[in-house]
């Protein structure tokens, strides 16, 4: 099971955190500090895996952003590495060649995508197409809602004039 | 697509993100966030906030929380937002609460009602959002509130809903297995769902169920195999393919389940052989995901009933792994550790690869290799392995791993120790460097071992062991800052055996003990051990008829302790003082020498008190009634217990109350009791629930949990008394003996086959240029038991082996000894001319990378002057992150085969065009690096600039595409 997902920039700044196991705010800060310390100081040609406190951290660097997932010791590291890549490919498809800025300003959208991919610490959908379809369904509904809301408020505004 | 139309947030929020991005230090960032928290606190309570504004506040709260600050003041507003009718707001609300709240948060109860409502919604997206929240927020207490609805959703028309409902049930199972046990048949049904996503999701709960109980799922073996077969034959929709692999994530999950089902089951395993063989053949070893499947296959093969052909294939795959990059080496070592359980001789083919990994600078790889060594330890190589482990243990700071490796050292030493002396030395080292981390049991074990000896009936050896222990402890004791646990052992051993062999005088040892007590005056446990040791030493002296002269420092220590704050220390000090005053015979009875292993007889019936009881009864005291005979009292007390329990268990109810019905209160415990003896979940009531899903089931389920809980409490309180502690020590020592025996016979029986393996290996060995040191290490690790070996290196084996069984020689000198002998008889260099193709395990691997690196470096060097000052900010690290992807591209023909530029490495994924120009994406102009989506990125850039976010030197990489 995935215990948490972290996105940390090369400068050690947090870009996204998602916790599937209970951690208090204090523990979270500690975890982020420890893991970014571990991850950022590793050389480029070493394993993408680090053992950390009885669990395993699988990470991968994309441009200046580190994607990292923490898994149980019996889980398959290579698979997790591909889950990360799968996530990045979906982000890439959604944002249209994704860059770090997209994630910074639209972190909530990244959360929605992650929610479609991984739920309760397990990968729930391995088809890129399905995830993309669901997300766009949600988005279109949101757009529709927005229009509706604005039209209603227009009506109200006109009526009250 | 999604990012079009701007980022959709206000200038204020964008400014916040921007200033965070430009913050130079953590403290600056904290200051900005604290300011933001103040603003939000003020704003969020203003009346009549427009909903869109509120939504933004919530997102800002998420941001604050994400950066590690407390946003709890806004949680309630997020909760409120989930109540909103508009999906847009509801979704934001749910997102925020799932990020803010842990499942035990007080506010959860306010959301449950909304979730219940949303699960009934017509809009499947609302249902999905609610199910997401269910997975995160519903705890054991609230499961009954949503369970019926979630079960109903298993039949929803939309596959996305079905999938999430399954994952929610999986979560419930993890939280409280009893709550969903009756739903196993539903999981079996959804396994046959027509949507592959739903089927894939079902594998998660099934995996958990199979892990717990293999037997009841054996009938599913055929289904799993046929699914796996279909997946491998690419029968699933194309969209489930990932890098040309058919649904690899589903394959991996299936392989995991099959490994569990086939473990130790020949019949089930035989059905799997064909499909496993197929997957071995079909997995593409050039891409990462192919290797992931392959690795899982190896794991599966090593778990199920062994098949020689598959094992061979697995071994081949492992040897490929070991010759690849770091990640695969790591997986290879891990796989080797699994396979070695079935075919122990396989490790020998890879000994040099293993040793390379052991000496790798990468800690992760090193640790994995230690794990492998731990698995292949036997009595012939235990010294080398444990010494290596201890060296590594001393060198690291990570306490968690230190603990682990220390306990492994202890375990191996206890199991395979070639001699007592070596054992003591090893334990000393472990305690010295990781004493505070090891379990206290280890210390007790060591004391027991020293007291009992190794179980041989050789008193002489035992006393030798003890005196060597005493000697080593007297040497170590003077060192500063020893761990407390180690000091306890030292004190105990010195007290018991310090003067046993007559080498040291009592006053010398008592002096040392006083020093310890003084130096560690904060540690009461150590002081207690020390003073008890003093007492023992004095007792032996008195019993032996010698005159006891108490050193002045001991005297002062005793006085100090008799006035100690700790009553335990006080008592020990007074006991000591009392003991010294007794005569020799009394002392010998109270403190017999070397009697720590003698059984102490306990008169459980307290017969010596019979006289006193008799007297009291005669005087008119009440006779004692045994508990079992106090029937009337028992009933009332159990009643009270139950009432109390029900009161404490009275959780929240989410359903309407039942209609009042006549209840006979005295009967309720009677009706409950039979069900407690059965399985905690009454089946019939649950089946009722599935069909009707009314208010009834939740009550019955809560009743059953109550029952279960009460049962637990009862077992703890009144369970069988555990008096077996006296006998455990002896049984443990005997079992240890057998373990030793088994291990030895094992090594003997495998020695012949291993000899063959080594001989075939050794033929090739001389052609490889390996440092003699490595060879020696390899020989001592792998070649131990091969007595028939006649190659040069075997001499060192023999030395190690023979010496490992002699107990007289000091073991510390052994490895040196062995290595000295093996040095002159190194394989002569002329063997290199044998003409066979020389295959070094590492050199050809590194070379292509080096070449690539060279290419890259050149590219960098050329590009920098071209782009001038702008480019100077570009750090070189971006390069070659994607070497493996690039490598896979060569096979797939999708990705640019030569990673000439870090930015373009993944360009194939987005565009497919090969770009070798424009190396080094300049920080200021991201458009350069974007290639296929030039317009897109230009727009983005313009937008960003509009927003006032100017790229600064602190975050030059912001504008680089993650995926090229």
A75 Cβ under 8 Å from any chain B Cβ: no
In chain A, what residues touch B242 (CB-CB under 8 Å)? 82, 86, 126, 128
B567-577 residue pLDDT tens? 888 999 888 88
Q: Alpha-carbon torsion A17, B80, A142, B122, what sign? A: positive
DSSP codes of every residue in B515-540:
HHHHHTTT-HHHHHHHHHHHHHHHHH
Q: Of the spans B178-187, B589-598, B731-740, B852-861, which averages the highest pLDDT?
A: B178-187
Of the partner residues B95, B167, B944, the one whose CB lies closest to the CB of residue A122: B167
Beta-carbon pairs below 8 A across chains A and B: 255
A47-81 residue pLDDT tens? 899 888 889 999 999 988 999 999 998 899 999 99
User: What pLDDT does residue A79 have?
Assistant: 92
Cβ burial, residue B939 (10 Å; 0-12/13-18/19+) = middle
B574's tokens: 């007074």
User: What pLDDT does residue B947 have?
Assistant: 58
Of the partner residues B2, B197, B400, the one whose CB lies closest to the CB of residue A139: B2
A65 Cβ under 8 Å from any chain B Cβ: yes
Chain A nearest C-alpha distance from B135 (Å): 6
Average pLDDT over residues B643-655: 56
User: CA-nearest residue of chain B to A8?
Assistant: B67
Cβ-Cβ contacts under 8 Å for B98 (sequence gap 6 or more): A115, B132, B133, B136, B137
Q: Alpha-carbon torsion A134, A135, A140, A144, what sign? A: positive
User: What pLDDT does residue B943 have?
Assistant: 64
Who wins on pLDDT, B800 or B543?
A: B543
Q: How confident is the model at residue B164 (pLDDT cuts 50, 70, 90)?
A: very high
Of the partner residues A17, A65, A124, the one whose CB lies closest to the CB of residue B167: A124
B21 Cβ under 8 Å from any chain A Cβ: yes
In chain A, residues 118-147 whose CB comes closer than 8 Å to chain B: 119-120, 122-130, 134-139, 141-142, 145-146
Is the predicted pLDDT of residue B323 greater than 60, yes or no? yes
Contact at CB, A124 and B940, closer than 8 angstroms: no
B394-421 residue pLDDT tens? 888 878 888 888 888 888 888 887 877 7
Question: Looking up tokens 């593409």, which residue turns up?
Answer: B284
B93 Cβ under 8 Å from any chain A Cβ: no
User: What pLDDT does residue B665 have?
Assistant: 53
Is the predicted pLDDT of residue A44 greater than 60, yes or no? yes
SS (H, E, C) B758-823: HHHHHHHHHHCCCCHHHHHHHHHHHCCCCCCCCCCCHHHHHHHHHHHHCCCCCHHHHHHHHHHHHC
Least confident of A54-63, B53-62, B523-532, B935-944: B935-944
Rounded-to-integer distance, Cα B594 and Cα B440, Å:
22
User: What pLDDT does residue B683 have?
Assistant: 43
Contact B178, B681 (CB under 8 A): yes
**Helix H or strand E encompassing B468:** helix B459-476
Average pLDDT over residues B381-392: 86
In chain B, what residues touch A136 (CB-CB under 8 Å)? 1
Of the partner residues B95, B128, B961, the one whose CB lies closest to the CB of residue A108: B95
* Residue B830: count of CB within 10 angstroms of its CB: 8
Backbone phi and psi for residue B46, each to the nearest 5 degrees, phi listed first: -60, 145
In chain A, residues 6-35 whose CB comes closer than 8 Å to chain B: 9-11, 13-14, 16-18, 22, 24-25, 28-29, 32
Average pLDDT over residues B205-226: 90
In chain A, what residues touch B128 (CB-CB under 8 Å)? 134, 138
In chain B, what residues touch A95 (CB-CB under 8 Å)? 1-3
Angle between helices B459-476 and B484-497 (to 10 degrees): 130
User: CA-nearest residue of chain A to B87?
Assistant: A142
Of the partner residues A16, A94, A127, the one whose CB lies closest to the CB of residue B240: A127
Contact at CB, A46 and B103, closer than 8 angstroms: no
B896-954 residue pLDDT tens? 444 344 343 343 344 433 343 444 434 444 434 444 456 666 676 666 666 555 544 44
Who wins on pLDDT, B553 or B166?
A: B166
Share of chain B above pLDDT 70, in %: 64
B281-291 residue pLDDT tens? 888 788 889 99
B79-94 residue pLDDT tens? 999 988 888 889 899 9
In chain B, what residues touch A53 (CB-CB under 8 Å)? 400
User: What pLDDT does residue B664 have?
Assistant: 55
Cβ-Cβ contacts under 8 Å for A24 (sequence gap 6 or more): B102
In chain B, residues 820-859 whose CB comes closer than 8 Å to chain A: 849
Chain A nearest C-alpha distance from B794 (Å): 35
Is the predicted pLDDT of residue B855 greater than 70, yes or no? no
Rounded-to-integer distance, Cα B531 and Cα B561, Å:
9
Least confident of B95-104, B243-252, B481-490, B649-658: B649-658
Least confident of A94-98, B387-391, B764-768: B764-768
Interface test with A, best of B2, B329, B921 (most A CBs within 10 A): B2
- Mean of all residue pLDDT scores within chain B: 72
B577-588 residue pLDDT tens? 888 888 877 887
Chain B nearest C-alpha distance from A117 (Å): 11
* Residue B51: count of CB within 10 angstroms of its CB: 14
User: What pLDDT does residue B429 have?
Assistant: 85
Output the pTM of the full model.
0.67
Contact B145, B139 (CB under 8 A): no
Who wins on pLDDT, B860 or B131?
A: B131
Chain A nearest C-alpha distance from B39 (Å): 20
B273 Cβ under 8 Å from any chain A Cβ: no
Rounded-to-integer distance, Cα B903 and Cα B473, Å:
61
Average pLDDT over residues B113-127: 91
Contact at CB, A96 and B930, closer than 8 angstroms: no
In chain A, what residues touch B87 (CB-CB under 8 Å)? 138, 141-142, 145
User: What pLDDT does residue B727 have?
Assistant: 40
CATH topology of domain A2-160: Beta-Lactamase (3.30.450)
Contact at CB, B86 and A149, closer than 8 angstroms: yes
Chain A nearest C-alpha distance from B502 (Å): 47
A55 Cβ under 8 Å from any chain B Cβ: no
A73 Cβ under 8 Å from any chain B Cβ: no
Q: How confident is the model at residue B127 (pLDDT cuts 50, 70, 90)?
A: very high
In chain A, what residues touch B197 (CB-CB under 8 Å)? 124-127, 130
User: What pLDDT does residue B813 have?
Assistant: 40
Contact at CB, B102 and A10, closer than 8 angstroms: no
What is the 8-class DSSP label of residue B569? Answer: H
B961 Cβ under 8 Å from any chain A Cβ: yes
Question: Looking up tokens 């949507």, which residue turns up?
Answer: B195
B209's tokens: 């169920």
A96 Cβ under 8 Å from any chain B Cβ: yes
Average pLDDT over residues B693-705: 41
Share of chain B above pLDDT 90, in %: 11
Of the partner residues A99, A119, A120, the one whose CB lies closest to the CB of residue B959: A99
Q: Alpha-carbon torsion B340, B344, B346, B351, what sign? A: positive
Is the predicted pLDDT of residue B700 greater than 70, yes or no? no
In chain A, what residues touch B126 (CB-CB under 8 Å)? none
B727-783 residue pLDDT tens? 433 334 344 444 444 444 444 444 444 444 444 444 444 454 667 777 777 777 776
* Residue A48: count of CB within 10 angstroms of its CB: 24
Rounded-to-integer distance, Cα B594 and Cα B493, Å:
11
User: What pLDDT does residue A83 have?
Assistant: 92
Average pLDDT over residues B105-125: 90
User: What pLDDT does residue B655 have?
Assistant: 65
Least confident of A107-121, B461-475, B640-654: B640-654
Cβ burial, residue B82 (10 Å; 0-12/13-18/19+) = buried
Rounded-to-integer distance, Cα A13 and Cα B67, Å:
8
Q: How confident is the model at residue B654 (pLDDT cuts 50, 70, 90)?
A: low
Rounded-to-integer distance, Cα A42 and Cα B327, Å:
14
In chain A, what residues touch B210 (CB-CB under 8 Å)? none
Q: Write down the domain spans for chain A.
A: 2-160
Average pLDDT over residues A82-110: 89
Interface test with A, best of B18, B32, B961, B964 (most A CBs within 10 A): B961
Contact at CB, A138 and B292, closer than 8 angstroms: no
Of the partner residues B329, B331, B881, the one whose CB lies closest to the CB of residue A78: B331
Give me the sheet containing A2-9, strands edge to edge.
Answer: A14-19, A2-9, A65-71, A55-62, A49-52
In chain A, what residues touch B367 (CB-CB under 8 Å)? 51
User: What pLDDT does residue B188 have?
Assistant: 87
B618-636 residue pLDDT tens? 888 888 887 777 765 545 4
């Amino acid at each position: 099971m995935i215990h948490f997902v972290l996105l940390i920039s090369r400068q050690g700044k947090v870009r996204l955190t998602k916790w599937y196991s209970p951690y208090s705010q204090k523990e979270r800060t500690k975890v982020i500090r420890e893991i970014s310390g571990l991850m950022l100081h590793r050389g480029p040609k070493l394993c993408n895996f680090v053992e950390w406190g009885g669990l395993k951290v699988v990470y991968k660097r994309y441009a200046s952003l580190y994607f990292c997932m923490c898994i149980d010791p019996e889980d398959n590291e290579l698979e997790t590495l591909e889950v990360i890549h799968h996530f990045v490919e979906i982000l890439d498809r959604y944002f249209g060649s994704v860059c770090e800025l997209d994630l910074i300003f639209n972190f909530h959208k990244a959360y929605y995508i992650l929610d479609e991919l991984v739920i309760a610490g397990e990968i729930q959908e391995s088809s890129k197409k399905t995830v993309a379809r669901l997300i766009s369904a949600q988005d279109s509904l949101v757009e529709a809602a927005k229009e509706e809301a604005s039209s209603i408020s227009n009506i109200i505004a006109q009526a009250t004039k | 697509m999604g990012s079009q139309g701007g980022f959709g947030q206000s200038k204020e929020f964008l400014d916040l993100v921007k200033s965070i991005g430009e913050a130079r230090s953590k403290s600056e960032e904290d200051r900005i966030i604290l300011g933001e928290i103040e603003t939000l606190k003020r704003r969020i309570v203003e009346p009549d906030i427009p909903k869109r504004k509120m939504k933004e506040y919530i997102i800002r709260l998420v941001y604050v929380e994400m950066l590690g600050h407390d946003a709890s003041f806004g949680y309630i507003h997020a909760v409120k937002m989930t109540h909103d009718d508009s999906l847009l707001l509801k979704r934001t609300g749910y997102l925020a609460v799932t990020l803010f709240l842990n499942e035990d948060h007080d506010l959860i109860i306010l959301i449950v009602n909304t979730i219940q409502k949303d699960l009934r919604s017509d809009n499947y997206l609302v249902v999905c959002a609610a199910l997401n929240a269910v997975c995160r927020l519903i705890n054991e207490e609230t499961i009954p509130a949503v369970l019926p609805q979630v079960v109903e959703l298993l039949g929803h028309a939309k596959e996305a809903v079905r999938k999430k409902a399954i994952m929610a049930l999986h979560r419930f199972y993890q939280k409280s297995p009893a709550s969903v046990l009756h739903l196993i048949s539903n999981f079996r049904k959804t396994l046959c769902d027509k949507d592959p996503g739903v089927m894939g999701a079902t594998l998660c709960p099934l995996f958990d169920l199979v892990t717990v109980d293999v037997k009841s799922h054996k009938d599913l073996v055929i289904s799993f195999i046929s699914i796996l077969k279909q997946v491998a034959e690419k029968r699933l929709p194309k969209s489930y393919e990932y890098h040309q692999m058919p649904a690899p994530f589903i394959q991996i999950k299936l392989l995991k389940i099959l490994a569990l089902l086939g473990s130790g089951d020949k019949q089930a395993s035989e059905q799997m052989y064909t499909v496993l063989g197929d997957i071995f053949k079909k997995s593409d070893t050039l891409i990462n995901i192919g290797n992931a499947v392959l690795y899982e296959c190896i794991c599966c093969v090593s778990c199920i009933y062994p098949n020689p052909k598959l094992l061979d294939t697995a071994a081949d795959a492992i040897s490929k792994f070991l010759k690849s990059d770091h990640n695969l080496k790591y997986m290879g070592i891990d796989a080797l550790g699994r396979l070695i359980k079935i075919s122990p001789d396989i490790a020998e083919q890879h000994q040099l690869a293993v040793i390379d990994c052991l000496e790798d600078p990468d800690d992760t790889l090193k640790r994995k290799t230690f794990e492998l060594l731990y698995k292949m330890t036997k009595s012939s190589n235990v010294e080398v392995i444990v010494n290596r482990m201890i060296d590594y243990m001393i060198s690291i700071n990570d306490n968690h791993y230190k603990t682990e490796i220390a306990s492994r050292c202890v375990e191996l030493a206890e199991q395979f120790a070639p001699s007592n002396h070596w054992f003591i030395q090893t334990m000393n080292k472990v305690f010295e460097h990781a004493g505070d981390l090891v379990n206290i049991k280890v210390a007790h074990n060591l004391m027991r071992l020293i007291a009992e000896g190794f179980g041989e009936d050789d008193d002489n050896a035992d006393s030798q062991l003890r005196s060597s222990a005493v000697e080593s402890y007297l040497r170590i004791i003077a060192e500063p800052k020893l761990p407390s646990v180690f000091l306890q052992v030292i004190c105990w051993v010195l007290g018991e055996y310090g003067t046993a062999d007559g080498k040291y005088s009592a006053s010398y040892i008592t002096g040392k003990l006083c020093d310890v007590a003084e130096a560690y005056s904060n540690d009461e446990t150590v002081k207690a051990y020390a003073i008890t040791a003093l007492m023992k030493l004095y007792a032996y002296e008195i019993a032996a008829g010698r005159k006891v002269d108490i050193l002045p420092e001991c005297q002062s220590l005793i006085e100090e302790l008799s006035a100690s704050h700790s009553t335990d220390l006080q008592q020990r000090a007074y006991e000591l003082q009392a003991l010294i005053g007794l005569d020799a015979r009394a002392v010998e009875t109270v403190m017999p020498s070397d009697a720590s292993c003698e059984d102490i007889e306990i008169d459980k019936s307290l017969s010596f008190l019979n006289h006193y009881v008799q007297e009291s009864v005669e005087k008119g005291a009440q006779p004692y009634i045994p508990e079992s005979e106090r029937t009337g009292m028992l009933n009332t007390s159990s009643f009270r217990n139950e009432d109390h329990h029900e009161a404490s268990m009275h959780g929240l109810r989410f359903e309407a109350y039942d209609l009042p019905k006549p209840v006979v209160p005295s009967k309720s415990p009677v009706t409950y009791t039979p069900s407690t003896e059965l399985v905690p979940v009454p089946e019939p009531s649950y089946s009722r629930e599935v069909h009707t899903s009314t208010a009834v089931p939740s009550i019955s389920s809560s009743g059953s949990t109550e029952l279960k809980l009460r049962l637990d409490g009862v077992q703890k309180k009144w369970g069988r008394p555990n008096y077996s502690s006296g006998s455990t020590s002896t049984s443990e020592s005997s079992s240890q003996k057998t373990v030793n025996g088994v291990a030895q016979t094992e090594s003997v029986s495998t020695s012949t086959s291993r000899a063959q393996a080594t001989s075939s290996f050794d033929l090739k060995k001389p052609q490889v240029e390996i440092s003699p040191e490595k060879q020696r290490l390899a020989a001592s690790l792998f070649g131990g038991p091969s007595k028939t070996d006649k190659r040069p290196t075997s001499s060192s084996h023999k030395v190690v082996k023979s010496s490992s069984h002699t107990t007289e020689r000091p073991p510390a000198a052994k490895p040196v000894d062995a290595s000295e002998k093996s040095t002159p008889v190194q394989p002569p260099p002329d063997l290199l001319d044998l003409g066979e193709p020389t295959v070094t395990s590492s050199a050809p691997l590194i070379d292509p990378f080096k070449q690539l690196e060279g290419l890259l470096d050149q590219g960098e060097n050329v590009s920098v002057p071209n782009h001038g000052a702008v480019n100077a900010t570009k750090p070189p690290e971006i390069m070659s992150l994607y070497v493996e992807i690039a490598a896979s591209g060569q096979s797939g023909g999708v990705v640019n085969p030569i990673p000439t530029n870090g930015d373009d490495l993944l360009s194939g994924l987005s565009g497919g065009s090969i770009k070798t120009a424009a190396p080094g994406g300049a920080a200021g102009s991201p458009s350069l690096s974007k290639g296929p989506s030039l317009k897109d990125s230009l727009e983005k850039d313009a937008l960003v600039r509009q927003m006032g976010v100017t790229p600064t030197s602190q975050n030059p990489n912001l504008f680089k595409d993650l995926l090229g």
